[in-house]
Amino acid sequence: MKRIVETEWTTMWLENDILFFVWKEGISIDLSGAKKTVARRMLLQQGKPYRILCNINGVRHIEKEAWHFLSGEGAELVEELVLVAATPLERVFSKYISTRLRSAPIKVFPDMETARKYLMQHR
């Protein structure tokens, strides 16, 4: 049974040893929201590193402090990060994450299905 965790900012779940992480549509993320979201992710992961498929399509704004947290301390237990970024703004977000996050490999795909296929083929 798939356990779904929902917060004000995200929906996340574990499936086939992949953590699916979807930011909600039209959200803005501040440092407090980033910290609360990571805390919920850590509870879901229960100390185990996961490959994460993160859909950033819903994000409209992220405060600089939130980005720094998410790509630094907030990246704990991230084995690999696969981002879904379709729009120019989302690709800018993903490029920023790629330059800041040094603790895990990062791939970027234009849609969830392509990202999922990549993760299933590269176990």
CB–CB of 83/75 below 8 Å? no
Instruction: Tell me, yes or no, if the pTM score tops 0.75.
Output: yes
CATH code at 4-121: 3.30.750.24
> What is the distance between the alpha carbons of residues 45 and 115, in angstroms, rounded to a whole number?
20
Given this model, what pLDDT does residue 100 score? 79
Q: Give percent of the chain with pLDDT exceeding 90.
A: 70
* Mean pLDDT over the full length of the chain: 91
For 55-91, write each residue's pLDDT tens digit: 998 888 999 999 889 988 999 999 999 999 988 878 8
User: Residue 102 has what pLDDT?
Assistant: 75
Per-residue pLDDT, averaged over 95-101, amounts to 80
